[in-house]
Amino acid sequence: MRLSVRTRLVLWFIASITLLFVVMLYITYGIFSHAIYASDVTVRLDEILLERAQRAGSNIVLHRGPFATPPEQYSSLFSRWIGYDVFLNPACGQLRDYPENFGDEPLIIIRNNALEGRFIPLTQFAYANLSRGAHSVETIENVFQYPLRVVTLLVHDREGHRYALQIGMSMQFVSTTLGNVLLKFFIWGPFLILAISLTGYFFVKASLKPVHDVVLVAREITAEDLSRRVPVLETDDEIGDLSITLNDMISRLEKSFEQVRQFSDDVSHELKTPLAVIRGEVEVTLRTERSGEEYRSTLVSILEESQKLESIMENLLFLSRLDVKKKSICLSDIALDELLIEVFEETALMAKERGICFSLRQVDEVRVHGDGGLLKRLLVNLIQNALKYTKQGGKVEVSLKSDSIGCGGSEKEAVFIVSDTGIGIPRIDLPHIFDRFYRVDKSRSAKTGGSGLGLTIVKKILDIHHGRIVVRSTLKEGSTFFVYLPKN
């Protein structure tokens, strides 16, 4: 059976209270019992019993003893010597011969009527004290229904025979008092536990009510409507933190869903444009007979648009693979300077075709921990991006520095710098240039063949390598990209 959190909390609460009650009962009973046995009443009882024993012993030493006196006559004398009551309770008395060894059966026992034919055992504790000539005071169980407080004293008669004299009194008053304490605990304890449990139940119910309210609202939140938020409690506790955390999570989900919807719209738009161009070219060409040159021009246009489609799909698949395989990418020691020189040589032809002055200003020896293929893609994207948006006669400079302190970084970072004299980026667009399909100038991007995914890929690769990128740009003057990577 599935139990709710409220029920489990209440059951744990009841179990804890019950356990605490049992422990408290055990401790209270022990303390109370010790207090009674150490009280003035008990001390006074021990003094009276010892006094009776000593007085009886002084009478025993004046007589010849039970070995030389008829038992009936000696028993009558013995009863008078020890008295008949102590604190209005019958005084129990017993006289037995002193055993040579502990546990020996007694040769003779004289006892008063209060013992009712029972026998007071001689404990090892009492025997050890008798051996030293000392008296002992102890509580002995299992003689009567209630414990017996007993004083044991070594005495001798006129003939020189040694005896163990034991005088005791029932501890009924102590046991009754302790029993009353236990009885009250057992009578009132369940009612107390029940009252505390009911109180705890209502407290738990009241405490979890905000959670119930949060659950009701959370059930109404769907992927179609993520604008609702759970009620935030103005309390500085875990439930208040839970409501804030849930709202933060819903906000992130709403943002993610919005990004997915925006991404779908952008993909549709990006794919629709080349397809519309291709369809338009084909429809126009098929309306009338065309010359071979016109057919060739149409095919060239279709090829260009197909290449754009291919570039978009390739970049989308690449981003998808990065998202899926982010944790499984194998990183190794990479010489970033050698990789940069290789990329520079590959992209130099593109710069020459566009009439752009392309140069390496500084290349320090830098080693990083990363994936060579991904880092090469990062360098290529940034350099090609700078070349695409720089006019003929412009300039693109590339640098790699092993120490980024002078470039706004730390001594543990290397910095790759790409600087161009291109069209620049408006300040309002800078926060969005790494979003998918975001392009500052749609018309220029169409001419350059850009799909708006290059910088998105750069940002993804940097996230995998725990790097960061900073962009400084002035409209119509150019842009500078600073890429910071942790040094190996």
Q: What is the CATH number of the domain that holds 248?
A: 1.10.287.130
Q: Which pLDDT band holds residue 444 (cuts at 50, 70, 90)?
A: very low
Q: Count of CB atoms within 10 A of residue 17's CB?
A: 16
- The predicted structure's pLDDT at residue 443: 47
Q: Count of CB atoms within 10 A of residue 168's CB?
A: 31
Please say if the pLDDT value at position 292 is more than 70.
Answer: yes
* pLDDT tens track for 392-405: 999 999 999 988 87
Q: Do the beta carbons of residue 56 and residue 93 sit within 8 Å?
A: yes
Q: State whether 111 and 158 are in the same domain.
A: yes
Q: Which pLDDT band holds residue 440 (cuts at 50, 70, 90)?
A: low
Q: Collapsing DSSP states into helix, strand and coil, what is residue 369?
A: strand
- The predicted structure's pLDDT at residue 114: 86
Q: Do the beta carbons of residue 487 and residue 368 sit within 8 Å?
A: yes
Residue 278 inside a domain? The answer is yes
Helix and strand numbers, DSSP H then E, in the chain: 11, 13
Residue among 175, 110, 115 nearest 144 (CA)? 115
* Token code pair at residue 403: 């120490």
Residue 420 inside a domain? The answer is yes
- The predicted structure's pLDDT at residue 418: 94
Q: State whether 282 and 212 are in the same domain.
A: no
Average pLDDT, the chain: 81
* Token code pair at residue 179: 């029993």
Give the integer Cα–Cα distance in Å for 277 and 300.
12
Boundaries of domain holding 302: 238-322
Q: State whether 353 and 250 are in the same domain.
A: no
Please say if the pLDDT value at position 233 is more than 70.
Answer: no
* pLDDT tens track for 101-117: 998 888 888 888 888 88
Are β-strands 395-401 and 357-363 bridged in parallel, bridged antiparallel, or unpaired?
parallel
Q: Does the reported pTM lie above 0.85?
A: no
Query: Which is higher by pLDDT, 134 or 287?
Result: 134
What secondary structure letter does DSSP report for 430? G
Adjacent-strand bridge partners of 485:
414
**Any idea which of 30-39, 183-192, 441-450 has the lowest mean pLDDT?**
441-450
How remote is the C-alpha of 108 from its chain's centroid? 74
**Any idea which of 22-26, 103-107, 238-242, 478-482 has the lowest mean pLDDT?**
238-242
Q: State whether 290 and 429 are in the same domain.
A: no
What secondary structure letter does DSSP report for 222? B
Q: What is the CATH number of the domain that holds 451?
A: 3.30.565.10
Please say if the pLDDT value at position 448 is more than 60.
Answer: no
Are β-strands 89-97 and 162-170 bridged in parallel, bridged antiparallel, or unpaired?
antiparallel
Kindly write down the DSSP assignment for every residue of 302-349, as one continuous string.
HHHHHHHHHHHHHHHHHHHHHHHSGGGPPPEEEEHHHHHHHHHHHHHH
Answer with the one of 288, 303, 322 that is the final residue of a domain: 322
Residue 225 inside a domain? The answer is no
Q: State whether 164 and 181 are in the same domain.
A: no
Q: What are phi and psi of 390, to 5 degrees?
A: -110, 130
Residue 94, CA distances (Å) to 155, 169, 385 in order: 12, 12, 115
Q: Collapsing DSSP states into helix, strand and coil, what is residue 221?
A: coil
Give the integer Cα–Cα distance in Å for 346 and 379.
11
* pLDDT tens track for 43-83: 788 888 899 899 999 999 998 888 888 888 888 888 888 88
Please say if the pLDDT value at position 411 is more than 70.
Answer: yes
* pLDDT tens track for 336-348: 999 999 999 999 9
Count of the separate structural domains present in the chain: 4
